[in-house]
Amino acid sequence: MEFDILAIIGIVIVSLFLISIILVFVGVGLIVLFWNAQKIILPRLTLFVVSTFELPIKKVIRFFKINLDDNAYSNIDVAKVDIMIAQLRTMLNKDIFTKVPIEKRAIFIPQCLRSPKCPAPTLPEGLQCIKCGRCGLYLLKEHSEKIGYRFFIAPGGTLIKRMVKKYKPLAIIGVGCPHELKEGSALMEAYGLPAIGVQLKRDGCYNTRMDVREFMDTIYLGIENQKPSNYDEIIKEIQSKWQEDEK
């Protein structure tokens, strides 16, 4: 009897191991399909597989030097796993997000978007913009708050947790690098909050950049009919502030 129990346990362990290996390679295949063919199959199942087996999937990509696009193999390919997870969560959250009233939404912007010469102080609720004009953050803040958002310039994830507990928003927009968006969206998922991510187009934790139009389109999700008539001009003005800082 004891032998039978041990044999059953052994079979279960081996079976789970083999299933895990299969799911890892299924995850790799889903990622390759997502990036090379721009197709997503069963997004919720894909998110579960890729996020659950994230580390072994990344190791397989590194080991076999799998290219996720036409570029030569590099760590960028591994980072695309983070991008995919964040984008899947954004895709699955979008319908719920658009139904949340603007005044119940919050925005978290990383402080690395500010100018290297930024004189703004950091207080308990994040970086307090003083509208020095060295970057476009003050214009983003003014426009976002004008339509009803809470807007925070965050020095780190601890502030995000604190502000979520304090103000209790029902939906979140986060800006960050792929890893931050992946981790942040997982945290918000644990809180039961729909989160939409806007990826930095130049990261590195210092003097970073983002797509202003993508950000602006994101804050108007669900209220597209409320975009001002000079929407394009507003975007150009905000973007120009970062361009001026580069001169």
Q: Is the pLDDT of residue 193 over 70?
A: yes
Distances (CA, A) of 41 to 31, 37, 159, 189: 10, 11, 35, 21
Q: Give 245's pLDDT tier (boundaries 50, 70, 90).
A: low
**Tens digits of residue pLDDT in 144-182:** 999 999 999 998 888 999 999 999 999 999 999 988 999
Would the pLDDT of 2 be above 60?
no
Spell out the domain ranges in the chain: 2-73, 95-246
- Is residue 75's pLDDT more than 60? no
Q: How far is CA 240 from the centre of its chain?
A: 24
At residue 71, does pLDDT exceed 60? no
What is the distance between the terminal CA atoms of the chain, rounded to a whole angstrom?
Answer: 79
Read off the pLDDT of residues 98-138 as tens digits, 9 standing for 90 and up: 999 999 999 999 999 998 889 999 999 999 999 888 899 99
Instruction: Look at residues 94, 48, 110, 45 and name the one whose alpha carbon lies nearest to residue 194.
Output: 94
Evaluate if residue 73 carries a pLDDT over 50.
no
- Phi, psi for 100 (deg, rounded to 5): -85, 130
Give the number of other CB atoms < 10 A from CB of residue 23.
17
Range scoring the smallest mean pLDDT among 14-28, 71-85, 90-104, 200-214 = 71-85
Q: What pLDDT does 217 receive? A: 97
**Domain range 95-246, CATH architecture:** 3-Layer(aba) Sandwich (3.40)
Measured from the Cβ of residue 121, the count of other Cβ atoms closer than 10 Å reads: 9
- What DSSP state is assigned to residue 211? -
CB atoms near residue 1 (< 10 Å): 5
In angstroms, the CA 114 to CA 154 distance is 11
- Phi and psi angles of residue 109, each rounded to the nearest 5 degrees, phi first: -110, 135
pLDDT above 70 coverage of the chain, percent: 93
